[in-house]
Amino acid sequence: MHTKRFPLLVLTAAMLVGASSTSQAQETHEWTLVSPLTPAISYMALYQELANNISERSDGRLKINFLSYGQHPFSGAEILSAVRDGVVQMGNTADVYVSSMEPSIAFLGLPFLFDNLEQAKAAYAELEDPYYRQIFADKYNAELTTGFVISGSAIHANRPLNSIEAMQGQKIRVFGHESGEMIRLLGGEPSTVAFGELYTSLQRGTIDGALTGMDGARAARVYEVVDNNTWWNWSYPVEFTFVNQDAMEALPEDLQEIVREEASLINERIQTDRDIGTMRILIDSIEQYGITVSGLDVDTLEEFRTRTQPIRDEWLEETGELGQQAFSIYEQGLQ
């Protein structure tokens, strides 16, 4: 009698263990991904696609709710700390937004370091793992998942701002310490204006011009109220997406790999889109609004670079060994 019941007990126990394992395997997780950018930014749909792809590949075991500007309470500067503290599990922001909080992240936002986009991308590729990834992990409990470089930083105004003389007394909207100091050293007056107020501030003449990229210019419809683009390309901002390390480690390994793989795929697509998208928006603006585009000649560019040297010196002093590490990698890449 006992010999007949023993296998049945073993089978029943095994079924219960199997059911428990299946239940654990099907455990679901829900994250929130926040961005400071408006849905009008052309590549924002790719972040929604990232969230959708992760949910689909995980069979719904990891759902990511994507919230853009106006759908959450965080500024661009606050998103990094929100992820660090686990208030949200995933965040997207740019170096220019967090430069006051973490100056070392703003390296590619320093003025006039690079001659072109390819130089900036090469520098970022060398800095990504030993520098940026380490800073996010060590200081902000965050794992870097995407990082891409943006070109096309320009001044949008009612006249060309392509000389020191033209800059004198001009009130220019800026978006961080480095950009504000740059405008001041070049003879202008830096002004802080919220992105949502950019259109009316230019329209009313509260400011004379605005620093922003081409995506931002299009999203804010600035060429309805100003008609000049001065193509400085003074910096090459980096936009990041990062995940709270505790949230990542709480996922099963297969879900962790899905997050990393899908983020890498989306990152490649966004970088490719930005490589051509900035110029495409500029051409569309010329055709649609008839704007005038000008740049900096070689002598003026060198003068701007010289006048803004104190910003780079201050940054190196403030960031110490960490900043010197970035600068050494940058200089090696230029050789």
Predicted TM-score of the model (pTM): 0.86
**Which parts of 170-235 fold into alpha helices (H)?**
177-185, 198-204, 214-220
User: Could you give the domains of the chain?
Assistant: 28-150+237-278 (3.40.190.170), 154-235+281-334 (3.40.190.170)
CA distance 187 to 168: 5
Low-confidence ranges of the chain (pLDDT < 70): 1-25
Interval 231-290: pLDDT, tens: 999 999 999 999 999 999 999 999 999 999 999 999 999 999 999 999 999 999 999 999
Residue 89: its pLDDT value, please?
98
**Which parts of 187-252 fold into alpha helices (H)?**
198-204, 214-220, 245-249
Residue 155: its pLDDT value, please?
96
Whole-Å CA distances, 131 to 88, 104, 142, 146, 156: 24, 9, 13, 14, 33
CA distance 289 to 112: 28
